[in-house]
Amino acid sequence: MLFQHKNVLITGGSRGIGKAIALRLAAEGANVAIAAKTAEPHPKLEGTIYTAAEEIAKAGPGKVLPLQGDIRFEESIEQIVKTTVELFGGIDILVNNASAISLTPTEQTEAKRWDLMHGINVRGTFLMSKACIPHLKKSHNPHILNLSPPLNMDPRWFAPHLAYTMSKYGMSMVVYGLAEELKPHRIAANALWPKTTIATAAVENLLGGDFLVQRSRTPEIVADAAFHILQRPSYECTGNFFIDEEVLTAEGITDFTRYAVNPAQKLMNDLFV
């Protein structure tokens, strides 16, 4: 088991891509802590941190720690990291997956929506990374992986949804900076982004409903890409903006049909690709 005795902390781990990564790494023996806000069932969202933890516990032999928290708040971040270290003994991998999305033009973007996206996507990612660095320094092969896109200054990615683009690019700038800053400590910082839309609650509820879900891939493709990235030597593999399909192609995987929600439908490219 490639991740046996590895301690992984994943934000936004109760559903979607975060949960898929948790399941993949747990199956390889990792201890997994999932931090998310959903502790009670939500009418529009599948699962809670506790139902996700039950699934993850069945996937592998490692420990699972469900943690309710809100990464917009520093005290919540500190408690998440403290509890993870107390139970697991350290942190080897941080996956910054938690995100908020609103694909609204500037005039339709409310201040509270701006604050939510930047509070989670940028501030939360930055401060969670900061809180984990002292523990990652003690790891043999430490990794930070952000679910954020390549930095592409094409105006077409800014014009339709400026606030969201700024927040996701903020996550990517955290990667860009930390990769260089943390090189002396051999801590890797990379980004991972899907080539196509992924069938998650955000896609179904906010972006395109079942029409878009049918033209998407499952979260497992991102989880499999993360699995390959996170086992690479941290001192060599850092500062990259990976695309899931490209990672798997490099690993010799060429048939992606099993990841399609509906193989009969043409896939929809994700934003920023």
Q: What is the mean pLDDT of residues 233-241?
A: 98
CA-wise closest residue to 221 among 204, 190, 197, 205: 197
Check if the beta carbon of residue 62 is closer than 8 Å to that of residue 89.
Answer: no
Active site residue 169: no
Locate tokens 């898929």: which residue?
A: 20
Per-residue pLDDT of 86-139, as tens digits, reads 999 999 999 999 999 999 999 999 999 999 999 999 999 999 999 999 999 999
Q: What is the mean pLDDT of residues 38-59?
A: 88
Check if the beta carbon of residue 174 is closer than 8 Å to that of residue 126.
Answer: yes
Distance CA 263, CA 252 (A): 21
The model's confidence at residue 202, banded by pLDDT at 50, 70 and 90, is confident
Q: What is the structure's pLDDT at 209?
A: 85
Assigned CATH class of 7-259: alpha beta
Per-residue pLDDT of 124-165, as tens digits, reads 999 999 999 999 999 999 999 999 999 999 999 999 999 999
Distance CA 188, CA 153 (A): 24
Q: Which position among 50, 164, 176, 259 bears the catalytic label?
A: 164
DSSP H or E run through 35: strand 31-36
Sketch the domain layout of the chain as residue ranges: 7-259
DSSP one-letter string for 104-162: --GGG--HHHHHHHIIIIIIIHHHHHHHHHHHHTT-SS-EEEE--------GGGTSS-H
Determine the distance from the C-alpha atom of residue 214 to the mean position of all C-alpha atoms in its chain, rounded to a whole number. Answer: 22
- Lowest average pLDDT, out of 87-96, 133-142, 202-211, 259-268, goes to 202-211
Check if the beta carbon of residue 15 is closer than 8 Å to that of residue 47.
Answer: yes
Query: Is the pLDDT at 42 greater than 90, yes or no?
Result: no
Q: What is the mean pLDDT of the chain?
A: 96
